[in-house]
Amino acid sequence: MFSPIKSTKVYEQVIEQIKNMIDQGMLKKGDKLPSERSLVQQLEVSRASIREALRALEVIGLIDCRQGEGSYIKASFQDNLFEPLSIMFMLEGSNQEEIWELRKIMEVEAAGLASKRITDEQLIELKELTQKFINCDDEDINSEIDKKFHYKIAECSGNVLIFDILKTVSTLVDHFIKDARKLIIVHEGNKEILFSQHNEIYLAMERHSSSDARKAMREHLDFANKYKSERTI
């Protein structure tokens, strides 16, 4: 299992050993890490080094340190990566346009892959999300359904990396535009257009047509982007 550590940047080696355990399948999502005390004994390093390593993993979004309960490998990586990405984006001076560009690339390709890989069960879920959309007048709920629709397609791409990056990018987009939808639907008739665009995407999935799915997603995002740009910031 663990083995004693002797060296300079101690916390790095603590992380390295935790990584190795993950790599070997000894630690999985949702698993509890050994206690700080136990890590101190097994790795023969100071409590401070252990805490530095755990904090770093917590900031990264990989573990969850619960007061009085111990540390757990996260079961899902919802906001994972967000912290480092957002700081980096600030330092790089990346702007809304770059984030939007990346999102468009990823979503269009995710739609293409999803159309080929979507299961019958997932098609039913996606159809439900499409239908709910017209049957609801509450914009807060619609906004949630909208997000779920897009996440579902990213999920159906069958590529965890694409899914994770899209989640991160979407979170960032949300930080810039609190609610893109609201900017769009103030214009009469746009709610219906959004529905029909979602429906086109869904129908392309049903036909398992990659080119149609990519085209429909591209048109949908270009439409949304047009309204986003109306804002002054």
**Which stretches of the chain bind its own copies, using CB under 8 A?**
11-12, 15, 19, 22-23, 28-29, 48, 51-53, 55-62, 73, 77, 80-81, 83-94, 98-99, 101-102, 105-106, 109, 113, 159-162, 164-165, 169
Which residue, 95 or 196, has its beta carbon nearer to its own copies? 95
Q: Could you tell me if 69 and 33 are in contact, meaning their C-beta atoms sit under 8 angstroms apart?
A: no
Output the CA–CA distances (angstroms, integers) from residue 4 to 11, 41, 146, 208, 227, in the order listed: 13, 9, 50, 54, 58
Residue 44 is classified by DSSP as: T
Quick one: 9 or 187, whose CB is closer to its own copies? 9
Q: CB of 131: closest distance to its own copies in angstroms?
A: 30
122: Cβ contacts below 8 Å, ≥ 6 apart: 152, 155, 156
The residue (of 109 and 146) whose beta carbon lies closer to its own copies is 109
Instruction: Pick the closer one to its own copies by CB: 151 or 195.
Output: 151
Q: How far is the CB of 187 from its own copies (least distance, A)?
A: 29
DSSP SS3 for 222:
helix
Least distance from its own copies to the Cβ atom of residue 135, Å: 34
d(CA 163, CA 157): 8
